[in-house]
Amino acid sequence: MKAICPACLSAIPAQNIALEAGWGKCGFCNEVFPLADVVEGFSSAEDTRQELLERPYDALAIVKREEDSLTVQLPPRGMTSSAWTFLSLTVVWFAFFGFLTMKTWSEENGASLFFVPFYLMGVGLLGGVLWSARSRRTLIIDSKHMATEVDFQFWRRRKRVDRALVQTARVGDVPWRQESPSQMWQHYAAEIVYEKGTFRLPCDTTAERDWLIAEINDFLQRDTARGRST
C-alpha cells in the first residue's frame, strides 16, 4: 500500500502509517490525515474496528464512555506492595549512607562531600515512591479536543490538543534493565499518539493495557466515522 501526503505530496513511509486506526502522518510537513482520503479502497474505520475487551477485574483505570466523549481516569495507586518495597530500600539507603557520613565526620572532623550524590539519589528514589503512590492521570477525548492532565499533590500539568491531530492508541511499554542482562522487566502503558507528542497511561498488567488501547481506539474510530457521515 502506497500513501501520498495530501499536503506536500511526499511518499509516506510504512512506519508512519497506523493501519489499525486508519491514520497516516507525513514525516516532511507533519500533516496528519485519514488513510481513507488518500488510499483508494481502504476500509473505513467502521469496518476495521478493534474488538472490545472485557475490563480486567484488577484494573485501576476508570473508563467513562458517552456518545461523544471518552474519559479515562487513573486514580492514585496508594502504597502498594511494590511501593512499600521501594520505600524500605530507600530507608536502608539513607541509613547506610548516614552511617558512613557520621563515621567520616568523626574520623576526619567533618563530613565528606563525596556522599552528596548518594543522598540526591535517595531523594530521587523517595520521590519515585511518592509519585507512584499519589499521582493521578486523566484523559478526556471529545469531538473537538483531547485534554490530558497529570496531578501530583499541589503540582498539575494540563495539555489540550485538537482532536484532528489525535491518531491512535498503542503499546507504550518502557523496558528497564538492571546490571545483569537477564534481569529485565517492563513498565506497562497505553500510549496515545498525536501530532508532535504522546500521552502515556501507566498500567499494572498487560491485560489492563490492552483493554485501554481497545477502548480508546474503538472510540477514536467511531468518532472518526461519525464525523465523516455528518
* Model pLDDT for residues 98-132, shown as the tens digit of each residue: 888 877 776 655 556 778 888 888 888 888 778 77
Q: Which residue type occupies 61?
A: A
- What contacts 88, CB < 8 A, 6 or more positions away? none
Alpha-carbon span 230 to 222, nearest angstrom: 13
Q: What is the CATH number of domain 58-76+135-229?
A: 2.30.29
Q: What nine digits make up the cell of 75?
A: 486514580
Alpha-carbon span 58 to 67, nearest angstrom: 26
DSSP H helices, 64-190, are 81-108, 116-134
* pLDDT at site 35: 74
Q: Would you call 84 helix, strand, or coil by DSSP?
A: helix
Return the DSSP state at 200.
E
Q: Where are the domains of the chain?
A: 1-44, 58-76+135-229, 81-131
Whole-structure pTM over 0.85, yes or no? no
Cβ-contact 186, 14 below 8 angstroms: no
* pLDDT at site 21: 61
pLDDT one-digit tens code per residue, 147-173: 999 998 888 999 999 998 998 898 887
